[in-house]
């Protein structure tokens, strides 16, 4: 089974936002994403990220899109035991 690290993205997004004192609306204005989109990423409620979303969030984090993709979006293989957990 394969998964993504979107749970890690959710944690890092919330941590980044709070560290900088940003509201969901602030991050939305900076990135051009809707406030609800930022919220759904932070809740790990999204299973797919568009190329545009990857680009704006990677820029927000100060990362190259390819590094961001590898860290959060690329599929990785999990053991059968891990595969029974909530899809990440």
Q: Is 68 inside any structural domain?
A: yes
d(CA 64, CA 21): 23
pLDDT at 36: 96
Instruction: Tell me which residue of 79, 37, 85 sits closest to 13, measured CA to CA.
Output: 37
Instruction: Tell me which residue of 64, 45, 44 sits closest to 54, measured CA to CA.
Output: 64
> pLDDT higher for 1 or 29?
29
Q: Is 44 inside any structural domain?
A: yes
pLDDT at 88 over 80: no
d(CA 87, CA 34): 24
Q: Is 88 inside any structural domain?
A: no
Total number of domains constituting the chain: 1
pLDDT at 1: 86
Rounded to two decimals, the pTM is 0.80
Q: Is 66 inside any structural domain?
A: yes
| Mean pLDDT, rounded, for 44-65 | 94
**Token pair in block for residue 84:** 């029974």
Residue numbers of the domain that contains 53 = 2-82
50 backbone dihedrals φ, ψ, rounded to 5°: -70, 165
CATH number of the domain residue 41 falls in: 1.10.260.40
Question: In the structure, what pLDDT confidence band is assigned to residue 82 with cuts at 50, 70 and 90?
Answer: low
Q: Is 20 inside any structural domain?
A: yes
Q: Is 50 inside any structural domain?
A: yes
Q: Is 11 inside any structural domain?
A: yes
Q: Is 26 inside any structural domain?
A: yes
């Amino acid at each position: 089974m394969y998964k993504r690290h979107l749970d890690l993205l959710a944690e890092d997004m919330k941590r980044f936002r709070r560290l900088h004192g940003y509201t969901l609306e602030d991050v939305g204005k900076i990135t051009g994403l809707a406030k609800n989109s930022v919220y759904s990423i932070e809740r790990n409620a999204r299973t797919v990220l568009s190329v545009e979303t990857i680009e704006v969030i990677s820029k927000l984090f100060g990362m190259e899109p390819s590094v961001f993709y590898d860290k959060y979006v690329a599929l990785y293989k999990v053991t059968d035991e891990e595969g029974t957990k909530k899809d990440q």
